[in-house]
Amino acid sequence: MRTSIYLPDALAEQIKQYEISISEVAQAAFQVAVERAQLQEKVMSDIAAVAARLQGGITKIMQMQYATGRDAGIAWAKRNASIEELRAITDKYWSDHSNIIDLIAEAYSPGSSVDYEDDVSEEEKTAMYDAFEQGFVQGAGEVWEAVKPLLEW
């Protein structure tokens, strides 16, 4: 294939002065450019796989946090919760009850269920706490729904 390449006059004079083969240099430069493009394409296709793997890891972490929260909510409801607290936590406005928020936060303390790595962002920590919190409320709610019919009013 034949093609034309524009060279500024000063560069063309230097190439002529040093008897540099334009064809050889251009072919070598194009070969390097093609190899870089191929490498970039491979890296980018691999990046999609990395992102999918990492997203799967994040999903797994969130599922684990939800399950840990659910277990903690069940344990709390069975061992420590009062009727008022169980009613409050199953109320759709449970977040208005500061004592419920405090006990979930206490159950979630990093020493008990979650150890953060240094590279976990605040956004990720919040998402993990939210998953734990949702699980906690779900677990406590399950206990309340199971025990409620057995209570004598």
- Find the helix packing angle between 83-90 and 122-147, rounded to 10°: 120
Which residue segment(s) compose the domain that 142 sits in?
11-17+20-150
Per-residue pLDDT of 64-75, as tens digits, reads 889 999 999 999
**What pLDDT score was predicted for residue 112?**
45
Note whether residue 113 is domain-resident: yes
Note whether residue 80 is domain-resident: yes
Q: Is the pLDDT of residue 57 over 50?
A: yes
Q: Is the pLDDT of residue 117 over 60?
A: no
Q: In sequence order, what E strands does 11-148 have? A: none
Has this prediction a pTM greater than 0.85?
Answer: no
**What pLDDT score was predicted for residue 95?**
67
Note whether residue 32 is domain-resident: yes
Per-residue pLDDT of 17-26, as tens digits, reads 999 998 898 8
* Nearby residues of 94 by Cβ (< 8 Å), 6 or more positions away: 88, 100, 137
Domain tally, the chain = 1
